[in-house]
Amino acid sequence: MRNLLYIVALSISLWSCGGGGSEPTPPPVVNTAPTIPTLTSPANNLLCIDNVLNFQWNASTDAEGGTITYEIQVAKNNLFAPISHTQTSTTTNKSITLEKGIAY
């Protein structure tokens, strides 16, 4: 009986000391969104006579120093449904050829 109590006491003490041995999980890295670019050209409600339109905007900044890719969307209405053109750029300008005689 004494041996049984000794084995039970030893088992409980070993079980309570077993902390799992794993390293604590590091906190997740938070990636903040870059700043919002501001369109500088063309002006809002511009009446264009050329079908090649050059879009320009101020650069965004990324707090983590990541590469920023811009997406330009052009639609025929202010609800942007449906989108007529979608282009991407890593620079602060992009030329898009639009159909003549269509309001965008």
Give the residue, 84 or 101, on which the prediction is more confident. Answer: 84
DSSP of 30-94:
P-PPPPPP-EEESPTT---SSSEEEEEEPPP--TT-----EEEEEESSTT--SEEEEEEESSSEE
15 within a domain of the structure (yes/no): no
5 within a domain of the structure (yes/no): no
55 within a domain of the structure (yes/no): yes
82 within a domain of the structure (yes/no): yes
13 within a domain of the structure (yes/no): no
Please write the tens of the pLDDT for every residue from 14-58: 555 555 567 888 888 888 999 999 999 998 878 878 889 999 999
- What span, in angstroms and rounded, lies between the C-alpha atoms of 53 and 34? 26
For the chain, the domain total comes to: 1
Domain extent, residue 69, equals 39-97
Q: What is the pTM of this model?
A: 0.67
32 within a domain of the structure (yes/no): no
84 within a domain of the structure (yes/no): yes
Residue with tokens 């003490």: 13
